């Protein structure tokens, strides 16, 4: 297990079992020193989503702190699910996506559902979808899901942004 995933797992377990926030590791691996948006995804043993929360731009002073905040939120604040309970911890599978800076694109032909995540923005509303998700094979599917997540109408004008991720399992 990569150190990034180990940190997310440790943070979630400590918070759920002890209601305490884990400390930032002292000797950060290089991947956790910089700043980036981070998504933490939690899946059940059967592969179904159990929680996913993240930031598309950095809000903390480094990736490690971003992981800590988003891991706790994914486990306890995803509005689609109740907070994870201690008896669920052993069966969970965690992945962490570290995002590149989103780039404005001119057209959906500049998207690739397997390679790029997408942000669809209309005014103050926006929806985001990570890349390479099961069952999401086309940019049109990505855009449709983002519109729905952001409460953006089918005919509302939008700006499209793409980003890449480094996914850790």
Q: Concatenated DSSP letters for 142-159?
A: HHHHHHHHHT--TTS--E
What does the pLDDT read at residue 86? 97
CA 96 to chain centre: 7
Q: Write the CATH number for 47.
A: 3.30.700.20
Query: Are 30 and 64 in a shared domain?
Result: yes
Query: Are 60 and 111 in a shared domain?
Result: no
Query: Are 95 and 146 in a shared domain?
Result: no
Q: What is the mean pLDDT of the chain?
A: 97
Query: Are 75 and 17 in a shared domain?
Result: yes
Number of other CB atoms surrounding residue 39 within 10 Å: 23
Give domain status of residue 39, yes or no.
Answer: yes
Place of tokens 């404005």: 104
* Confidence class for position 87, pLDDT limits 50, 70, 90: very high
State the pTM of this model: 0.95
Query: Are 87 and 120 in a shared domain?
Result: no
Count the domains in the chain.
Answer: 2
Query: Are 86 and 144 in a shared domain?
Result: no
Q: Helices 3-18 and 63-76: crossing angle, nearest 10°?
A: 50
Query: Are 66 and 26 in a shared domain?
Result: yes
Give domain status of residue 169, yes or no.
Answer: no
Q: Where does a domain end: 99, 124, 151?
A: 99
Q: Write the CATH number for 108.
A: 3.30.1490.150
What does the pLDDT read at residue 112? 98
What does the pLDDT read at residue 66? 98
Write the CB contacts of 151 (distance below 8 Å, at least 6 apart in sequence). 125, 127
What does the pLDDT read at residue 144? 97
CA–CA gap between residue 165 and residue 138 (Å, rounded)? 17
Nearest C-alpha neighbor of 92 from the set 78, 76, 75, 104 = 75
Mean pLDDT of 130-152: 97
CA–CA gap between residue 20 and residue 164 (Å, rounded)? 32
Query: Are 83 and 134 in a shared domain?
Result: no
Q: Which range marks the domain in which residue 17 is found? A: 3-99
What does the pLDDT read at residue 96? 98
What does the pLDDT read at residue 88? 95
Q: 55: which DSSP letter?
A: -
What does the pLDDT read at residue 149? 95
Mean pLDDT of 120-144: 97
């Amino acid at each position: 297990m990569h150190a990034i995933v180990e940190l997310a797992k440790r943070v979630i377990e400590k918070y759920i079992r002890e209601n305490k926030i884990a400390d930032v590791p002292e000797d950060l691996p290089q991947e956790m020193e910089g700043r980036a948006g981070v998504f933490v995804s939690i899946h059940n043993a059967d592969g179904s989503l159990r929680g996913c929360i993240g930031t598309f731009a950095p809000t903390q002073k480094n990736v490690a702190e971003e992981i800590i905040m988003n891991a706790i939120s994914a486990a306890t604040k995803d509005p689609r699910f109740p907070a994870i309970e201690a008896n669920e911890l052993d069966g969970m599978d965690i992945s962490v996506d570290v995002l590149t800076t989103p780039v404005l694109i001119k057209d959906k032909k500049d998207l690739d559902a397997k390679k790029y995540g997408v942000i669809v923005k209309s005014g103050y509303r926006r929806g985001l979808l990570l890349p390479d998700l099961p069952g999401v094979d086309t940019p049109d599917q990505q855009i449709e899901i983002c519109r729905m997540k952001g409460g953006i109408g089918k005919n509302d004008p939008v700006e499209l942004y793409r980003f890449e991720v480094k996914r850790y399992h």
